[in-house]
Amino acid sequence: MSHIVIDHIETSLKAVLKETDFTQLAVLVDENTHAHCYPLVQAFLPEHLLIQITSGEEHKTLRTCEHIWEQFTTNNFDRKALLINLGGGVIGDMGGFCAVTYKRGIRFINIPTTLLAAVDANVGGKLGIDFMGFKNHLGFFQEPESVLIDPVFLKTLAPRELRSGFAEVIKHGLIADADYFEQTTAHGLDIENWEAVIAHSVEIKTAVVKADPKEAGLRKILNFGHTIGHAIESFYLNTDKKLLHGEAIAAGMICEAYLSKKLLGFSEEDLLQISRTILEIYPEINIAKEDFSGIVKLMYQDKKNLNNLLNHSLLMNIGKATYDIAVDEKDVIDALFYFIKLKQ
């Protein structure tokens, strides 16, 4: 498992660099983390190569990886080089992917700068990039050496991005801790102590990952909301209706809570509570009826599927999830109809 620290970035970064022996150092940023986050760490870094990529899910591709690998290569990085991923989930997933493939693997450290990366993406070792329009289609399981979390980075994060990350916090409550779901959603996004939220989400996620690092079974519960959510995210990615990861997962969680009721006897009352809570935080997510077939088609590449069956992770109760539930295509369509009817 990674060494995960929540502390002032100056303290944690200096400590990690002191105890890590490396030949070359690179820092991966996008234009936003270059502008807002790099100035908070630059003074504590020894000589390094700064690699900048363009932000956004649409750049989480092989093409961007080629740029990163070219930078390592032209700067003669050897196997004892170290990469620092300074950014959100896109930087962490893709930087990690480039690190483990370069010369069969160099070490990497994550410094999450979005809520989503701090509570979820940068923790647990799922690395990857999108391919042929499918989410995280190429990837590895490999934990970072360290994850250095400091809520200070959230100060410059756009409110829409903070809200996107909050969807994974909601997910953690729904799959593992009913009280956490109640407490975190009680006042919308008006949260005073982000550090406590991050710490508890990381605790929930790391416990699951420790029990099942490579998603043989239990880890699939972390994918609640993602079978339908990823398909929605991919469907709208290159359109003017683009959704952020957490927004698509928020819609996916409503649909999959509906499936939990229909297929597992999850309570109607809890379904309504989840639907109302999520719609209050994400009122503007719209899915069009004419897009349903395209969305369902994308679900056939979900990594949890076996024998071409759409395998879902669903809820038994608020706070308890289960996995490997095969779902019929027509039930998925019903779930999407449930979502759009809620909004009428």
Ligand X SMILES: NC(=O)c1ccc[n+]([C@@H]2O[C@H](COP(=O)([O-])OP(=O)(O)OC[C@H]3O[C@@H](n4cnc5c(N)ncnc54)[C@H](O)[C@@H]3O)[C@@H](O)[C@H]2O)c1
Take residue 192 and report the two structure tokens written for it: 């005073």
215 is catalytic: yes
Query: Judged by CB, which is closer to ligand LNCXM5UN: 124, or 144?
Result: 124
Residue with tokens 């927004």: 247
- Residues 156-195, one symbol each (x = binds ligand LNCXM5UN by CB under 6 A, - = not), give ------------x---------------------------
Residue 53's contacts (CB-CB under 8 Å, 6 or more residues apart) are 28, 29, 30, 59, 64, 67, 68, 91, 94
- State the residues that interact with ligand X by CB under 6 A: 30, 32-33, 36-37, 55-57, 60, 87-91, 93, 113-114, 116-117, 120-121, 124, 126, 135-136, 153, 156-157, 161, 164-165, 168, 245
Instruction: Using alpha carbons, select from 15, 102, 88 the residue that is nearest to residue 53.
Output: 88
Helix (H) and strand (E) counts for the chain? 14, 10
36 is catalytic: no
Instruction: Using alpha carbons, select from 270, 252, 249, 253 the residue that is nearest to residue 261.
Output: 270
223 is catalytic: yes
For the bound state, the minimum distance from the C-beta of residue 290 to ligand X, rounded and expressed in Å, comes to 25
Instruction: Using alpha carbons, select from 246, 194, 217 the residue that is nearest to residue 324.
Output: 217
Given ligand LNCXM5UN, ligand X, none, residue 312, with its beta carbon under 5 to 8 Å by kind, binds none
Query: Judged by CB, which is closer to ligand X: 168, or 270?
Result: 168
135 binding ligand LNCXM5UN? (CB under 6 A) = yes
Instruction: Considering the candidates 57, 161, 168, 233, report the single residue annotated as catalytic.
Output: 168
Q: Which of 303, 311, 312, 332 binds ligand LNCXM5UN (CB under 6 A)?
A: 303
CB atoms within 10 A of CB 24: 17
Torsion 52-55-58-61 (CA) sign? positive
Q: Is 88 exposed, middle or buried (0-12, 13-18, 19+ CB in 10 A)?
A: buried
Q: Residues interacting with ligand LNCXM5UN, by CB under 6 A?
A: 120, 124, 126, 135-136, 168, 215, 219, 222-223, 226, 230, 303
Residues annotated as part of the active site:
104, 126, 168, 205, 215, 219, 223, 226, 230, 245
